[in-house]
Amino acid sequence: MKESASTTKPLSIVIAKGDGIGPEIMDATLKILEAANVQIDATHIEIGEKAFLAGNTSGITEDAWDAIHQKKVILKAPITTPQGKGYKSLNVTIRKSLGLFANVRPAVSYHPYVKTNHEVMDIVMIRENEEDLYAGIEHQQTDEVTQCLKLISRPGTEKIVRYAFEYARKFNRKKVTCLVKDNIMKITDGLFHSIFKEISKEYPDIEAESQIIDIASARIANRPQDYDVLVTSNLYGDIVSDITAEISGSVGLAGSSNIGQEYAMFEAIHGSAPDIAGKGIANPSGLLHGAIQMLQYFGEAEKAAYIQNAWLRTIEDGMHTGDIYNDSISKKKLNTSEFADAVIERLGQNPEHFAKIEFNSDDTRIVIKDTEHAPRKKELVGVDVFIDDKNRDAEALGNSLVDASKEVLKLKMITNRGVKVYPGGMKSTFCTDHWRLRFISKSAEKVNGQYEYKNITAQEVIDIQSQLVKSGFDVIKTENLYTFDGKIGFSLGQGE
């Protein structure tokens, strides 16, 4: 081991050893950091299973929050969310409470030392971390139908897209690929895509492309070498980053950062691996890679490269933990602590097969400023009223609704699970007990066979509900229909 100078100042961080294999891999990681002369001013916090079972329903105590608010940076081992008691994921709670909007997950092929079908692969997933279907707003609305709200905001999308381009620039990446499904979700994914196109123009030095998430996932799994930086919303990012981790060879290798404007959290991408916990055989590399990303965040690029190069050399030397051990290339099967010692022995050495790592920028913190926009003119032009009705006859329902509503608003159409079933629905469309009734202004006229939208009042939205309730309908919710600067801000029914 060749010594290196200590970090310029102690890293002031909170450490959470977590559950399952967490304490084992955290001890190994801290041992490597210490041997590399990384000074740490740490506050240890207890979060996860023990906190949950001690009655903290969120899995974290007030003291732990205080420490986090003071230190602002967390190095966290995986935690176990106890099953079956309705506990919310602590990871999601921490990310959202601290505004950690960007989840950065690199996935790299270490072929031929780690078994993978892909010799060349070096992908960084930048996943939006706070919104989308993970907003956690779900409802059962009728006996038969449940819903989950997918929230995609302009500020949330701008921040993550800008972060992806800034990341690409800072880390000398060439291309950013945006993953969306805006052929189906034209408003939510459409917004994400349009913001991507808008912001990409500010980065002419970086190639920008967009792909539909389904075919893109298949291509990523098949030809990861064609991809560089990926940016996407929360759910797609969660799924695709597991694909990239898996095809790179092992979930035990990758680290991840969760970055906000003020706070940051670094971790492994894998979970607490209860199946091997306590055996001392887990691979600490994922958490070590999280810690290396943390060093870069603190501006300790040289130290980060010093450890990463020793780690690469360890892998090249065939010093492998059980999860990546392979008779044809591995030289020694090491346990967690022996693996840490093998990395420590190689501190100061560089890889011979892989390219030596040089993190070329000491300033790797990416701060994204919020963009101001002039508000657009919003006008109310209709309302969707959702009702629960067990009678599956759309035609009969439509006729009775026209009658019940005509004094207040005009019934434009009825859909069931998004498909138009009235007027002129098809007998073959299966209907559930969940109906969406679209109401527009009483005075709306048809232009070229379609009703044009006219303004309605908030009072009319209330009146139509009272009218329907009085007529015996079971109203379950409403969604107002707006235009923004005259542009329709809602989707049409399929077949409308």
- Non-local (6+) Cβ contacts of 250 within 8 A are 114, 283, 323, 324
User: At closest approach, how far in Å is the CB of 147 from ligand NAD?
Assistant: 24
Q: Which is nearer to ligand NAD, 242 or 474 (CB)?
A: 242
Q: Which is nearer to ligand NAD, 79 or 180 (CB)?
A: 79
100 neighbors 94 (Cβ within 8 angstroms): yes
User: At closest approach, how far in Å is the CB of 348 from ligand NAD?
Assistant: 25
Q: Which is nearer to ligand NAD, 275 or 327 (CB)?
A: 275
Q: How deeply is 320 buried, as exposed, middle or buried, from its count of CB atoms within 10 A (0-12, 13-18, 19+)? A: buried
* Number of neighbours of residue 457 by Cβ within 10 angstroms: 10
User: At closest approach, how far in Å is the CB of 11 from ligand NAD?
Assistant: 21
Residues 138 and 129: their CA atoms lie apart, in Å, by: 18
Q: Which is nearer to ligand NAD, 91 or 330 (CB)?
A: 91
| DSSP-assigned beta bridge partners for residue 103 | 127, 258
Q: Which is nearer to ligand NAD, 4 or 93 (CB)?
A: 93
Provide the sign of the torsion angle of the four alpha carbons 15, 21, 26, 27, taken in this order: positive
Residues 105 and 118: their CA atoms lie apart, in Å, by: 18
DSSP assignment of 196-240: HHHHHTT-TTSEEEEEEHHHHHHHHHH-GGG--EEEE-HHHHHHH
Q: How deeply is 31 buried, as exposed, middle or buried, from its count of CB atoms within 10 A (0-12, 13-18, 19+)? A: middle
Stated as kind and residue range, the H or E segment containing 338 is helix 336-345
User: At closest approach, how far in Å is the CB of 223 from ligand NAD?
Assistant: 25
- Non-local (6+) Cβ contacts of 470 within 8 A are none
Stated as kind and residue range, the H or E segment containing 290 is helix 285-297
Q: Which is nearer to ligand NAD, 24 or 460 (CB)?
A: 24
Counting every residue written for the chain, the total comes to 496
460 neighbors 405 (Cβ within 8 angstroms): no
User: At closest approach, how far in Å is the CB of 42 from ligand NAD?
Assistant: 19
**Residues in touch with ligand NAD (CB under 6 A):** 21, 25, 78-81, 91, 251-252, 267, 270-276, 282-283, 286, 323
User: At closest approach, how far in Å is the CB of 265 from ligand NAD?
Assistant: 9
Scanning the structure block, which residue is given the tokens 């921040």? 159
Residues 283 and 104: their CA atoms lie apart, in Å, by: 20
Q: Which is nearer to ligand NAD, 155 or 274 (CB)?
A: 274
Q: Which is nearer to ligand NAD, 106 or 252 (CB)?
A: 252
User: At closest approach, how far in Å is the CB of 23 from ligand NAD?
Assistant: 12
User: At closest approach, how far in Å is the CB of 24 from ligand NAD?
Assistant: 9
Tokens of 476: 């379950």
First to last CA, the chain: 71
User: At closest approach, how far in Å is the CB of 256 from ligand NAD?
Assistant: 8
User: At closest approach, how far in Å is the CB of 18 from ligand NAD?
Assistant: 6
User: At closest approach, how far in Å is the CB of 76 from ligand NAD?
Assistant: 7
Q: Which is nearer to ligand NAD, 285 or 296 (CB)?
A: 285
177: nearest Cα among 132, 145, 137, 210: 210
Q: Which is nearer to ligand NAD, 279 or 378 (CB)?
A: 279
User: At closest approach, how far in Å is the CB of 285 from ligand NAD?
Assistant: 7
Scanning the structure block, which residue is given the tokens 């990871």? 91
User: At closest approach, how far in Å is the CB of 466 from ligand NAD?
Assistant: 46
Residues 472 and 441: their CA atoms lie apart, in Å, by: 22
Residues 231 and 179: their CA atoms lie apart, in Å, by: 6
Phi, psi of 210 (to 5 degrees): -125, 140
Residues 351 and 108: their CA atoms lie apart, in Å, by: 15
Tokens of 147: 């819903």
DSSP assignment of 326-362: -TTT-SEEE-HHHHHHHHHHTTT---SSSPPP----S
Q: Which is nearer to ligand NAD, 224 or 249 (CB)?
A: 249
310: nearest Cα among 24, 13, 120, 33: 33
Q: Which is nearer to ligand NAD, 79 or 124 (CB)?
A: 79
Q: Which is nearer to ligand NAD, 21 or 401 (CB)?
A: 21
* Closest CB to ligand NAD: residue number: 271
